[in-house]
Amino acid sequence: MKPLLRLEGLEAGYGPARVLNGVSFDVGRGEVVALLGRNGMGKTTLVRAVMGLAPWVRGRVLLDGRDLSHETPYRIARAGIGLVPEGRDVFPNLTVRENLIATARRASGPRAWTLERVLDLLPQLRERLGAQGGTLSGGEQQMVAIGRALLINPELLILDEATEGLAPQLRTEVWDCVRTLQAQGQSILLIDKHVAVMRTLADRIVLLEKGRVAWRGAAKALPEDVLQRTLGV
Ligand SMILES: Nc1ncnc2c1ncn2[C@@H]1O[C@H](COP(=O)(O)OP(=O)(O)O)[C@@H](O)[C@H]1O
Ligand SMILES: [Mg+2]
C-alpha cells in the first residue's frame, strides 16, 4: 500500500550546516508515528523540510505519492499537511476565532473539520472565541494551534512538541486529544519528549540521532538498550 507520507533520503540544513543526513521513513494512513530524539538532533528541521520552510532541502517528500519537495509552504499546507509548530505561533492580535479560521481549508464529508467540530473536540475554546491570542494561557494557545491545524482538514497532522512547557494536566489533555484523533483514523506525525507515553500512544517510532534514523519500528518493539543509548532514558 502506498504510504501517506514518504521521506526519501531527506537532507536539510542551514547554509553550509547540514542537519539531516539522509532520512527515510513512512507514515501510513491512519498511523501515529512518533519521532523521538534528543534536543538538537534535527526533529524540527525535519518538520521544516517537510513543510518547505527549511533554507535548503535535498531528497524527496511525497504525500500520497505526490512529490512536494519543491513546493511552497502554502501549497504544501493546501496539499494536506497541517502543522502544530514548535512554539505554537498563535497570532497575538487575532481573536481565537480568527486564529482558528485564518488558514482554514474547507472539506466535504461527515468527517470534515468545521469550527463547530473543533469546538466539540476542544470545548475550552468555546468560551474564549472572542479573546485575543496574546491573552491566552499556554494550554489555550496549544489548543488553538491544534484546532487551527485541524481546520485545514489535513491528511497528515504534525505536532512538534505540543506538550512542551505545559502542566501535567494539560499535557494529558493534549495526549487525550491525539488519542481521539487517532481513533478517528487521523494520520499523525508526533514529536514529544515524553518517551514512555509515546511508546504506548504511537503505532511506530522513528528515533533520530544526529540527523540520521538510528532506529525505527513498531513502538512496542523498541528495545531498552536502544532507548538508553540514544535518549539516555
Ligand atoms: N535557524 C537555524 N539556524 C542555524 N542552525 C539551526 C537553526 N535551527 C536549528 N539549528 C541547528 O540545527 C540543529 C537541529 O536543530 P532542531 O532541528 O531544532 O533539533 P530538535 O528539534 O531535534 O531539537 C541544531 O544543531 C540547531 O542548533
Ligand atoms: Mg525541536
Q: What string of DSSP letters covers 6-69?
A: EEEEEEEEETTEEEEEEEEEEE-TT-EEEEE--TTSSHHHHHHHHHT-SSEEEEEEEETTEE-T
At 117 the pLDDT is 96
- Give me the chain's average pLDDT, please: 96
The environment of the single-atom ion ligand 2, i.e. residues with CB closer than 5 A, is 43-44, 86
Ligand nearest to the CA of 161: 2
Per the model's pLDDT, the better-predicted residue between 76 and 232 turns out to be 76
At 1 the pLDDT is 73
At 199 the pLDDT is 96
Find the range with the poorest average confidence among 31-35, 102-106, 147-151. Answer: 102-106
Mean pLDDT of 5-26: 97
User: What distance in Å separates the CA atoms of residue 43 and residue 51, rounded to the nearest whole number?
Assistant: 13
For the cut 80, the answer to whether the pLDDT of residue 34 exceeds it is yes
Ligand nearest to the CA of 50: 1
Overall number of domains in the chain: 1
Mutational test site, ligand 1, from 11, 19, 20, max ligand atoms within 8 Å of CB: 19
Confidence label for 176 from pLDDT (cuts 50, 70 and 90): very high
Ligand nearest to the CA of 159: 2
User: What distance in Å separates the CA atoms of residue 233 and residue 224, rounded to the nearest whole number?
Assistant: 8
For the cut 80, the answer to whether the pLDDT of residue 107 exceeds it is yes
Task: Tell me how far the alpha carbon of residue 53 is from its chain's centroid.
Answer: 14
Mutational test site, ligand 1, from 18, 44, 209, max ligand atoms within 8 Å of CB: 44
Confidence label for 97 from pLDDT (cuts 50, 70 and 90): very high
At 56 the pLDDT is 95
Determine what percent of the chain falls in helix, strand and coil, rounding each to the nearest 5.
Answer: 35, 30, 35
pTM higher than 0.75 for the full model?
A: yes
In the chain, what percentage of residues exceed pLDDT 70?
A: 100
| Number of helices and strands in the chain (H, E) | 8, 10
Q: Identify the helix (H) or strand (E) that includes residue 159.
A: strand 156-160
Confidence label for 110 from pLDDT (cuts 50, 70 and 90): confident
Confidence label for 109 from pLDDT (cuts 50, 70 and 90): confident
Residue whose Cα lies nearest atom 16 of ligand 1: it is 42
Mean pLDDT of 103-113: 91
Confidence label for 194 from pLDDT (cuts 50, 70 and 90): very high
Listed residue (216, 156, 181) closest to 36, CA to CA: 216
For the cut 90, the answer to whether the pLDDT of residue 2 exceeds it is no
* Binding site membership of 36 for ligand 1 (Cβ less than 6 Å): no
CATH code at position 51: 3.40.50.300
Q: Give the domain range for residue 66.
A: 5-231
* Binding site membership of 44 for ligand 1 (Cβ less than 6 Å): yes
* Binding site membership of 40 for ligand 1 (Cβ less than 6 Å): yes
How many A from CA of 43 to the centre of ligand 2? 5
For the cut 90, the answer to whether the pLDDT of residue 111 exceeds it is no
For the cut 80, the answer to whether the pLDDT of residue 133 exceeds it is yes
Question: Which DSSP category does 94 fall into?
Answer: S
Confidence label for 126 from pLDDT (cuts 50, 70 and 90): very high
